[in-house]
Structure 1
Amino acid sequence: MSDLGAGLGYLIKGQRWAFGHGRWFGFGLLPALITLVVYTGALTGLGYGADDFVAWATPFADDWSSPWLGLLRNTLVALVFILGIFLAVITFTAVTLLIGQPFYESLSEAVDRSEGGEVPESGLPLWRELWISARDSVRILLRVAVYGVLLFALGFVPVLGQTVVPALGFCVSGYFLSQELTSVALQRRGMVLKDRLALLRGRRAMALGFGVPLALAFLVPFVAVLLMPGAVAGATLLVRDLTAAPEDPEPAGEPPALRKS
């Protein structure tokens, strides 16, 4: 429970940091606005086309009598749209981070600088950073797709599909949002995807505490845009905690003066 609260705390601190640094907040809004326009168009198209898609996918039900035909297809339309929203929430962050890679990397550096201590830099050219970011995002999204298909199938189970499955969907969304958002600061620290995933698995509750509230907030499109700069800032603060070197304890039985330099 303490890690859940800590994750939420980093999200709140990140939003405070972003709103307190207007220049960086403004920079962080632009990529999210571009992504929002694209995703709004895609979801609008899905909303108009879901009926036709479901009818095409269920020809076996054409001869069913009422109310079974309507019940089946209306349920499937709802599930298709829910799946679309689930994928949009997950991929929104990945696409926004890819579009805004230079902005968000600079924002993350500014957060590190404001907190004091080392300010890691990848030292890689921009094209290389974009390639790594895109490649790693695809790998994460493939994992999300597996969970998405599984949750979609479980959505047909009575009661479970209307209660437990949506809750699991938000947990999955939140966890993978944390993976995407922390990738900016972790990539600057030279950490490859495998090590980044292992790091978050070790603090899964913290990742959920950070990501699940974002997944819920991202259901409101314009809120997602407003929260993106602070989400990157909060993820950087979280990474600073996860990668902080443990303090070197005093050797047992030896006074401080006798410690080797």
Structure 2
Amino acid sequence: MPAAPVLSGPQYLREGLKLVLSPGLRLFVLLPLTVNLILFATLIGFAVQQFGGWVDAFMPSLPSWLSFLEYVLWPLFVVLVLLMVFFSFTLLANIIAAPFNGFLAEKVEVVVRGGDHFPPFSWAELMAMVPRTLGREARKLAYFLPRAVALLILSFIPVVNLLAAPLWLLFGVWMMAVQYIDYPADNNKMSWQDMLAWLREKRWQSLSFGGITYAALLIPLVNVFIMPAAVAGATVFWVRERGEGAVTKAQP
């Protein structure tokens, strides 16, 4: 019996984790994993130093007679800053690791579709993917920035900014689905607009996958290791949700 759409996301991420831990694919995981480890260590150190100042910047100024509300609002704005910082750092990590993630998605798809063997590693194939994958990341950035700026402006408007944290969370969940499922979609030459339209058709499955990925990436240290699993899980999502034989594997 097939899993319900809201339950399929955890299933795909779990399958992705199993795949990246398999002996034949470990080599393709080490490259993005190393990049993410270095980047996250650097960015976490920076965030720890600046975090208090960022929370103070977003906290609204209240008159003295409402000062008691600061104790109520402070946790909300801590969560808001955490969501913004986490998502910005994750986006940057994915931009830097994009060629490695695209390469990993390509190899995972071969395995998921029933390849007889694990494909050999090729630096030439990896380098050939760099211009295309970075171009696609630029397209994601163009999609992300106007919406993030709108949410950022909303975060500074008193009273209205109480909605900012849940909206950032929902947007982050959607972007996690977009970010990772785009790797196999791009490998299969699906256009950006067609990919978004397909994800909207699979809205609940997409939000389920994005939500479980978002939650896993919020866990310190675990988030570094979950990124390759998310790439593999998104590839499983792509193959299964598109249907067997629905997609022709793109040639390198």
| TM-score range for the pair, normalised by the shorter chain length | 0.7 to 0.9
Using the TM superposition, give the Cα deviation of residue 94 of structure 1 relative to its aligned residue in structure 2, in angstroms: 2.4
Aligned residue pairs, count: 234
Q: Tell which structure's C-alpha radius of gyration is larger.
A: 1
Q: How far apart in 2 are the matches of 1:166 and 1:207? A: 21
Are the structure 2 counterparts of residues 103 and 109 from structure 1 closer, same or farther at C-alpha, using a change threshold of 3 Å? same
Does the CA contact (< 8 Å) of 2:184 and 2:238 recur in 1? Answer: yes
CA distance in 2, matches of 1:84, 1:51: 6
User: What is the TM-score with the length of structure 1 in the denominator?
Assistant: 0.74
Show CA shifts across 1:48-72 (max 9, x none): 31365358x63xx4xx436x33534
Aligned partner letter, 2:6:
L
Match of residue 43 from structure 1: 47
Deviation per CA, 1:78-120, whole angstroms, max 9, x where unpaired? 444322221233333322221112211121111011123699x
Contact preservation (8 Å) 1:14, 1:232: yes
Q: Give the Cα separation in 1 of the matches to 2:88 and 2:58.
A: 23
Seen in structure 2, the aligned counterparts of structure 1 residues 54 and 174 have a Cα distance that, compared at 3 Å, is closer
Which of 4, 20, 35 is the aligned partner of 1:2?
A: 4
Q: Which residue of 2 aligns with 1:172?
A: 171
CA distance in 1, matches of 2:192, 2:126: 14
Asked if residue 91 in structure 1 is aligned to residue 93 in structure 2, the reply is: no
Q: CA RMSD in A?
A: 3.5
Q: Does 1:188 align with 2:190?
A: no
CA contact (8 A) 1:137 1:180 kept: no
Unaligned runs of 5+ in 2: 120-124, 247-252
Post-superposition offset of 1:226: 1.2
Determine if the alignment matches structure 1 residue 33 to structure 2 residue 32.
no
Is 1:214 aligned to 2:241, yes or no? no
Tell me what 1:116 maps to.
Answer: 113
> Distance in 2 between the 1:140 and 1:211 partners?
15
CA distance in structure 1 between the partners assigned to 2:47 and 2:171 by the alignment: 20
> Does the aligned pair in 1 maintain the 2:6–2:208 contact within 8 Å?
yes
What is the one-letter code of the residue matched to 1:185? P
Per-residue deviation, 1:182: 1.0
Q: In the alignment, which residue of structure 2 is the partner of 1:257?
A: none
C-alpha separation in 2, matches of 1:18 and 1:206 = 22
User: Structure 1 counterpart of 2:179, which letter?
Assistant: E
1:198 deviates by 0.8
Q: Secondary structure at the match of 1:100?
A: helix
Change (3 A) 1:192 1:41: farther
Shift of 1:217: 2.0
Checking the alignment, whether the CA contact within 8 Å between 1:181 and 1:231 is kept in structure 2 is yes
The corresponding residue for 2:16 is 14
Q: Name the CA shift for 1:95/1:49 in 2 (closer, same or farther; >3 Å).
A: same
- 3-state DSSP class of the match of 2:95? helix
For 1:191 and 1:43, locate their aligned partners in 2 and report how far apart those are by CA, in whole Å.
Answer: 36
Question: Are the counterparts in 2 of residues 32 and 96 from structure 1 also a CA contact under 8 Å?
Answer: yes
Deviation at 1:208, TM superposition (A): 1.5
**Structure 2 contact 185–195 (Cα < 8 Å) conserved:** yes
Q: Structure 2 vs 1, CA of residues 87 and 51 (structure 1 numbering), >3 Å: closer, same or farther?
A: closer
Distance, in Å, in 1 between the alignment partners of 2:187 and 2:217 is 26
Task: For residue 235 of structure 2, give the secondary structure of its aligned residue in structure 1.
Answer: helix
TM-score normalised by the chain length of structure 2: 0.76
Distance 2:170 2:42 in 1: 25
| Equivalences for residues 121-160 of structure 1 within 5 A | 126-147=130-151, 150=154, 152=155, 156=159
The verdict on how the C-alpha distance between 1:208 and 1:148 changes in structure 2, with shifts beyond 3 A counting, is farther
Which whole-Å CA distance do the structure 1 matches of 2:235 and 2:158 have between them? 35
- Summarize deviations over 1:203-253 as a string: whole Å, max 9, x none: 111011111122122222211101011000001111112333678xxxxxx
Q: Distance in 2 between matches of 1:117 and 1:155?
A: 55
Q: Residue 79 and residue 135 in structure 1: after superposition, are their counterparts in 2 closer, same or farther (change >3 A)?
A: same
| 27 and 188 in structure 1: CA distance in 2 versus 1, 3 angstrom threshold | same
Structure 1: state its 5+ residue gaps.
Answer: 248-261
